[in-house]
A = this chain, B = another copy of it.
Amino acid sequence: MTQEPATGRWSRRKQTRPSEIIEAALDLFVERGFAATKIEDIAKRAGVTRGTPYLYFASKEELFKAVIREGLLPRIEVGEALVRDFNGPATALLEEVVRFSWQAIAKTKLAGIAKLVMAEAGNFPDVAKYYHDEVVHRGQNLVMYTLEYGVKRGEFRPMDIDYTMRVVIAPIMMAMIWQHSLGVCINESIDDDRFLDSYLSLLKCGLCQRID
Of B128, B131, B157, B206, the contact of A203 (CB 8 Å cutoff): B206
Minimum CB distance partner of A198 in chain B: B163
Given contacts A167-B202, A173-B170, A201-B206, contact A122 B184 (CB under 8 A): yes
A182 touches B123 (CB 8 A): no
CB pair B32–A186 under 8 Å, yes or no, is: no
Interface size on A, residues (CB 8 A): 60
Q: Mark A176-195, 1 if CB is under 8 A from B, else 0.
A: 01101110111000110011
Min Cβ gap A29→B in Å is 11
A165 closest partner in B (C-beta): B198
Segment at the interface with B among A4-12, A70-78, A112-120:
A112-120
The secondary-structure label for the interface of chain A is helix
Residues of B within 8 A of A162 (CB): 194
What are the interface flags for A135-165 relative to B under an 8 Å C-beta threshold, 1 for contact and 0 otherwise? 0100000000000000000000101101110
Residue A107 CB within 8 A of the other chain: no
Q: Is the CB of A128 within 8 A of B186?
A: yes
Is there an interface contact between B182 and A121, defined as CB atoms closer than 8 Å?
yes
Kindly state whether residue A89 has any CB partner on chain B within 8 Å: no
